[in-house]
A = this chain, B = another copy of it.
Amino acid sequence: VVTPGAPDRADGVDATGASDGRVVVLGLGLVGGSLARLLHARGADVVGYDADAATRTAAAAAGLRVADDVAGAVAEAGVVVLAVPLRAMGAVAAEVAAAAPPGVTVTDVGSVKGPVRQAVAAAGLGERYVGAHPMAGTEHSGFGASSAALLDGAPWAVTVAAGASTPGVGTAGTDPARLAAVLRLVTGRLGGTAAVLTDELHDEAAALVSHVPHVLATQLLNAVAGAPVRDVALGLAAGSFRDGTRVAFTDPARTQAMVTENAAWVAPALRKAVRDLEAVVAALETNASLHGFFHEADQVRATWTPRRPGAGSAEGAGRPGGDVVALAGDWPRAVLDRCAAGAVVTRVDADGVHLA
């Protein structure tokens, strides 16, 4: 169920009264389709496109405005969202570069941010690009699995290029006006929250909370699939196996791409997993205590509660007492610093960027 956005947050109009314009979603799979559906449900000016004709037909049948090609889709775009597989980002970005208006803001929904920025920059769109990644999904894929509810109120990461030597992100390759436009989109009509991060910080954190979990889930499923006791094991499988392998039922090609693209962060995290598991094996084989291993995360257990699906909408929004960073000076750096400490953007308005 998609709730109407609050009027003061959902109009897509920035502090100066200027609209960020049409949102064009390229790729109408699970995430792109859900994004287009949600924007459509909120009354936004949204146009979609997918390389697959059957997907375009299905999207049109669902009431979405669908273009016949990339050039037609982006011709009057204010914001273009690349929602194609990681391997296709570069090629689609090149098509966008050839046809989109100069003022366009390009963003994406890819699960890895550094490599997408490289691909977009190679297409000549680096200065118009702001990275984005909604932290929501299911083990299904394709437009048929999309829904306006999937991304409604989702937490997003919105990423900027880290300057090599400068503390000013605004001067390091990410246009503050375009960053503001993406933050307005995410926290406005999409009803979400946004953690503004460098690509590197996103990719390191995403390796820990998403990519490595996908690898471990795949290993669990593989181990049972290849075991002599497979049939008995699957017969006994209950909650711990179901949840531990859920994401291994994701399209394996998509998972492979995600993991491979973020190899720089996934590999060291997996190396740590190997070391940790070797220590567990050694303890089991020598009757040494595993108390430390099983209690290492007790503080997180005591203080952190996993977010439930669909519970994100109210998070942060309207929370009193949050920071506000005015849209002046090197405000992206100020927002970045606060988000690195765990804050999220909940709103952008005439007062500035609201954080909670």
A interface secondary structure, majority: helix
Is the C-beta of A137 less than 8 angstroms from some C-beta in chain B?
yes
- Stretch of A80-88, A181-189, A337-345 contacting B (4+ beta carbons < 8 Å): A337-345
Within 8 A of B (CB), among A242-281: 242-249, 252-253, 255-256, 259-260, 263, 266-267, 269-274, 276-278, 280-281
Q: Closest CB-CB distance, A304 to chain B, in whole Å?
A: 6
- Assess A240 versus B269: contact at CB under 8 Å? Given A297-B248, A300-B234: no
On whether the beta carbons of B342 and A226 are closer than 8 Å, the reply is: no
CB distance from A200 to the nearest CB of B (A): 10
Q: How far is the CB of A264 from chain B (nearest CB, A)?
A: 9
Contact bitstring A224-249, B, C-beta under 8 A = 1, else 0? 11110111111111111111111111
Q: Does A177 contact B (CB under 8 A)?
A: no
Determine which of B243, B271, B284, B342 lies in contact with A243 in the assembled complex, contact meaning CB atoms within 8 Å: B243
Contact indicator B239/A137 (Cβ below 8 Å): yes
- Interface bits A126-161 vs B (CB < 8 Å: 1, else 0): 000000000111100000000000000011010000
Bound CA–CA A136/B295 (angstroms): 23
**Residue from B215, B253, B291 within 8 A of A280 (CB atoms):** B215
List the one stretch of A41-49, A57-65, A206-214, A320-328 in contact with chain B: A206-214
> What is the size, in residues, of chain A's interface with B at 8 Å between Cβ atoms?
98
CB closest chain-B residue, reference A222: B296
CA distance A234 to B339 in the complex (A): 12
A301 cross-chain contacts in B, Cβ below 8 A: 221, 248-249, 252
The 6 closest A-B pairs by CB, nearest first: A213-B244, A231-B342, A135-B238, A225-B297, A205-B233, A252-B294
